[in-house]
């Protein structure tokens, strides 16, 4: 056994017991580790395992890690705008681990069996969605976007009942914490003022310790969470990521992307893009994400009101002031990112109309979003015949704009190359490698993983994974819960 938790280093369990329930994972029949993240294990200082059986037993929940006191966390969540009592219904937190660099992370098993918060669910997860979370979260990390990580996927040997019988799996998720906006909603609405205060101070110490220096510590905390969320959603928008289910329980206060369900990357650029089969009204469409994040941070601010100021009206005024900043900050991060993506290395006042026109042009064409940034530099990358006029019209403006800045084409290309990925987990490729994995062939999954780990500089430019495939307009993702 090469992993054990230091009982002295466990911090969440020092919080009031209203915030969690101790609960062990339920055993599975015949665990086999099908994916193991060597890089992450190394980064975390988790030594390689000698015995595959041990590894599978530990990361399926069959064998308890020394020092672990497994628990399920309590939280509420606004799901599609409606408040619900949730909590970890199928995830179990094994403990907190300190990396050699001194970074504290939660190690959690997802799909580890029923918990006191399971409601009618079976507490289990199907292999397809767990491999999907592994793949997309690791791709996001390689893209430099804050995210929870994935350490392992273990097949359980059991079937789970969904629309059909599916092979079950347990994912090991690593996060800087699993404290969500919904955790604060729970503390504010279901527990006492003292529990809310303790959760808040704990979160500050764990994620934003600098706030302790501020005279208005709680407001400073709120501002930090707003800032990190604005940054995160800007990064999603720049890379074309659609989270798909931005409920308040799926928004971590650390600012990491969390809870990969029906997420996907856009191919062509259309703000109304929705992939999730349950998002009937497009609440979580690509273009709505900034507005929804703003809505979510307002729910977060609401849960802190009693700590912000004893006078409710005053607390509300302060919180509203903070929340209004969200869109401004989002916009600053986003425009900054777009400038770099387009090689506009010196900010100019008319950049924004130029960028708007670019996106508006893309939205009327079948041009691949990710590929479009490369097409500006490499005329060989094809633009569909019928879109050439629109493309060339915009590109001429872009060419003249570049001439107004004192940078060579090489300098521009180098910045653009460092921020525009060549490889993203394109939907068609994701489905293909997951399909093969479910038939027992892990090789395409492994090859794809190796590619998405180097999104900006794939070893082979002709990599098949870089090439857009024909877009399937009926493509939908499912939550897979
Ligand atoms: P998610 O859509 O993954 O964010 O989950 C929303 C809520 O449903 C959380 O409280 C989950 O723990 C719970 N949940 C999802 N799937 C299951 C399941 N198979 N069994 C029990 N609870 C689940
Ligand atoms: Mg969730």
Q: What is the pLDDT of residue 370?
A: 95
Q: What is the mean pLDDT of residues 295-316?
A: 98
Q: What is the pLDDT of residue 244?
A: 97
On the question of pLDDT at 296 being above 50, the answer is yes
Compare 344 and 478 and report the one with higher pLDDT. 344
Please, which residues have CB less than 5 A from ligand 2, an ion? Answer: 249-250, 259
- Contact call for residues 99 and 44 (beta carbons, < 8 A): yes
Residue 24 designated active-site: no
Q: What is the pLDDT of residue 381?
A: 64
Q: Is the CB of 123 under 6 A from ligand 1?
A: yes
Q: What is the pLDDT of residue 1?
A: 47
Q: What is the DSSP letter of 64?
A: P
Q: How many Å lie between the centroid of ligand 2 and the Cα of residue 358?
A: 35
Mean pLDDT score of the chain = 95
Return the ligand 1 atom nearest residue 124 CA. 19
Cβ partners under 8 Å of residue 397, min gap 6: 354, 357
- Contact call for residues 281 and 287 (beta carbons, < 8 A): no
Q: Whose CA is nearest to atom 22 of ligand 1?
A: 89
Could you tell me what percent of the chain has a pLDDT over 70?
98
For residues 479 and 12, what is the distance between their CA atoms, to the nearest angstrom? 28
- Pairing mode, strands 165-175 and 91-98: unpaired
pLDDT band for 472, please (50, 70, 90 cuts). confident
pLDDT in tens, 207-242: 999 999 999 999 999 999 999 999 999 999 999 999
On the question of pLDDT at 347 being above 70, the answer is yes
On the question of pLDDT at 452 being above 60, the answer is yes
pLDDT band for 462, please (50, 70, 90 cuts). very low
Q: Which of 73, 124, 481 to mutate for ligand 1's pocket (most ligand atoms within 8 Å of CB)?
A: 481
Q: How far is CA 112 from CA 133, 162, 170, 174, 194, in A?
A: 15, 16, 6, 15, 31
pLDDT band for 475, please (50, 70, 90 cuts). confident
pLDDT band for 299, please (50, 70, 90 cuts). very high
Which of 124-128, 380-384, 432-436 is least confident?
Answer: 380-384
């Amino acid at each position: 056994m090469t992993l054990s938790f230091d009982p002295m280093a466990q911090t969440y369990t020092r919080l009031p017991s209203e915030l969690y329930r101790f609960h062990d994972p339920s055993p599975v029949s015949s665990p086999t580790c099908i994916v193991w993240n060597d890089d992450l294990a190394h980064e975390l200082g988790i030594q390689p395992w000698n015995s595959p059986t041990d590894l599978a037993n530990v990361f399926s929940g069959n064998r308890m890690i020394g020092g672990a006191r497994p628990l399920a966390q309590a939280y509420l969540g606004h799901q599609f705008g409606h408040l619900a009592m949730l909590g970890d219904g199928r995830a179990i937190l094994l403990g907190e681990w300190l990396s050699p660099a001194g970074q504290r992370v939660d190690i959690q098993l997802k799909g580890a069996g029923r918990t006191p918060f399971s409601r009618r669910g079976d507490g289990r997860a199907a292999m397809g969605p767990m491999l999907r979370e592994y793949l997309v979260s690791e791709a996001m990390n390689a893209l430099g976007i804050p995210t929870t990580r994935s350490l392992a996927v273990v097949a359980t040997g059991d079937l789970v009942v969904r629309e059909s019988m599916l092979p079950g799996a347990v994912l090991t998720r690593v996060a800087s914490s699993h404290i969500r906006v919904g955790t604060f909603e729970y503390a504010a609405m279901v527990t006492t003022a003292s529990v809310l205060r303790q959760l808040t101070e704990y979160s500050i110490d764990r994620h934003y310790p600098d706030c302790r220096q501020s005279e208005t510590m709680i407001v400073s905390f709120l501002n930090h969470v707003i800032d990190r969320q604005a940054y995160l959603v800007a990064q999603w928008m720049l890379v074309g990521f659609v989270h798909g289910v931005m409920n308040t329980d799926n928004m971590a206060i650390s600012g990491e992307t969390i809870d990969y369900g029906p997420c996907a990357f856009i191919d062509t650029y259309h703000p109304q893009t929705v992939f999730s089969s349950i998002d009937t009204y497009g609440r979580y469409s690509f273009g709505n994400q900034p507005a929804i994040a703003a809505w979510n941070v307002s729910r977060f601010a609401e849960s802190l009101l009693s700590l912000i100021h004893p006078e409710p009206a005053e607390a509300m005024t302060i919180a509203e002031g903070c929340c209004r900043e969200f869109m401004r900050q989002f916009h600053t991060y986003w425009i900054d990112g777009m400038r770099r993506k387009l090689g506009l290395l010196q900010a100019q006042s008319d950049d924004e109309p130029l960028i708007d026109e670019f996106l508006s042009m893309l939205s009327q064409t079948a041009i691949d979003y990710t590929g479009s940034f490369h097409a500006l530099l490499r005329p060989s990358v094809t633009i569909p015949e019928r879109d050439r006029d629109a493309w060339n019209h915009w590109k001429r403006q872009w060419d003249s704009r570049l001439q107004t800045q004192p940078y060579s084409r090489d300098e521009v290309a180098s910045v653009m190359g460092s921020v525009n990925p060549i490889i993203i987990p394109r939907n068609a490729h994701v489905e293909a490698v997951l399909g093969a994995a479910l038939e027992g062939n892990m090789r395409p999954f492994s090859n794809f993983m190796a590619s998405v780990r180097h999104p900006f500089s794939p070893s082979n430019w002709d990599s098949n994974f870089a090439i857009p495939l024909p877009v399937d307009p009926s493509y939908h993702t499912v939550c897979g819960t």
